Amino acid sequence: MMRELIPLSIPSISGNEWKYVKECLDTGWVSSVGSYVDQFEQSVSEYVGTEFGVATVNGTAALHLSLLACGVRPNDEVIAPSFTFIAPVNAIKYCGAFPVFIGSDPATLGLDVNKVNDFLSQECVLRNGELYNRQSGRKVSAILPVHIFGHPVDMAPLNEIAGRYGLPIIEDASESLGSEYRGRKTGSLSTIGCFSFNGNKIITCGGGGMVTTNDESLANRIHHLSTQANKKPFEYEHDEIGFNYRLTNIQAALGVAQLEQLDSFVEIKRKNATCYRELLATLPNVKLAWEEPWAKSNFWLCTLMVSSEDRNSLMDYLLSQNIQVRPAWKLMHNLSMYQDCQVYKMEETMAEFEKCISIPSSVQLTVDDIQYVVDRIKVYFDQK
């Protein structure tokens, strides 16, 4: 008999979710104002270690508003990885700006800080305190690192580089809530952090997002833009073109209940990753993407590296065994919308991305599930 599906990443709803959502329904506080929105903003920012949190309707909206608030304007350029989910790159385009894709670091799978340094120092020029890309003539106005699969980018040197050129950093921490870089939580490591609470993330609001920052004026500006730029709500005095990007109280209620469980979710995911690693250690053809000594990953999605020849056939085999797996995203610069964008030092990224398979990583995963996944991987290689 076929074993039941082992999902890739599903929510764990096991705390106060029903209670808090019911309270919203019972009191009528269901929409974009309510105590749970305030509570969620406060508890996420406290957890992450920033002074301010601004809730948004999703992570993409958090990125869009952060880029706008950091001053990204039409025709500017933003440094971004090509190896990422598409949302941060689309957010750059929503601002009318262009991504410049820099290669990723095979150790972290995130933006390669040395390559960013090479690009900015060798391919750009400072004029009147602003940085311009020699090739395109456009102004470079921000850096957008993404903490891929939960593993932090090497932020200390990136902050140093950004500081040298006066560039803000918008940290896409959508996948890395609970991860740490040198003892500090991702989302608190630069100008602004952005989170997603989509259903497949470590905690979920159904859908939702958050901006975290220590900069009060940025937080106020993002809040303002997210509420239709309504300066005096009672009088409908809108002072610019804003957005309807606020999170609802129902979603925030779900988020507050989920956040109460986050530490245990991180612990379970780290334990599961260690279990995978120990069991996979005997398989020479498979490597589990692991953490750097300075990092503590939330292991949002455990990801295998295999040879590019094996990747698709191993994936097909695991899917046939009711194990939900997924290839990594297509590189952004290979998508039709982004193929004209500038690409810099991408060779290593190309090679790494072809090897990735994300494997079941939900909080509910049991040791028995992990053993089954590893056994099936073993069978695949034994049968080759």
Ligand X SMILES: Cc1ncc(COP(=O)(O)O)c(C=O)c1O
* Interface with ligand X (CB under 6 A): 58-60, 84-85, 87-88, 146, 172, 174-175, 196, 198, 209
Residue 171 or 369 having the CB closest to ligand X: 171
Helical (H) or strand (E) element with 295: strand 295-296
Q: How far apart are CA 52 and CA 56, in angstroms?
A: 13
Residue number, 196 or 349, with CB nearest to ligand X: 196
Q: Which of 139, 201, 269, 296 is catalytic?
A: 201
Q: How far is the CB of 188 from ligand X (least distance, A)?
A: 17
**Residue 198 vs 298, nearer CB to ligand X:** 198
**Closer by beta carbon to ligand X, 92 or else 146:** 146
Element holding 317 (H helix, E strand): helix 308-320
How many residues are given for the chain? 384
Q: Compare residues 334 and 371 and give the one whose CB is closer to ligand X.
A: 334
For residues 37 and 221, give the distance between their C-alpha atoms in angstroms, rounded to a whole number. 17
Answer positive or negative: Cα dihedral of 54, 302, 88, 86: negative
CB-based contact 164:143 (threshold 8 Å): no
Residue whose entry in the numeric block shows the structure tokens 């952005």: 194
125, β-bridge pairs: 132
Minimum distance from residue 209 beta carbon to ligand X (Å):
5
* Chain position whose Cβ is nearest to ligand X: 59
The CB-of-173 to ligand X minimum distance in angstroms stands at 8
Q: Is 296 a catalytic residue?
A: no
Burial zone of 137 (CB within 10 Å; 0-12 exposed, 13-18 middle, 19+ buried) = exposed
**Shortest distance, CB of residue 197 to ligand X, whole angstroms?**
7
**Distance between the two ends of the chain, CA-based, in angstroms?**
24
Nearest-approach distance from CB 203 to ligand X, in angstroms: 12
161 touches 27 (CB < 8 A): no
Q: Which residues are catalytic?
A: 201
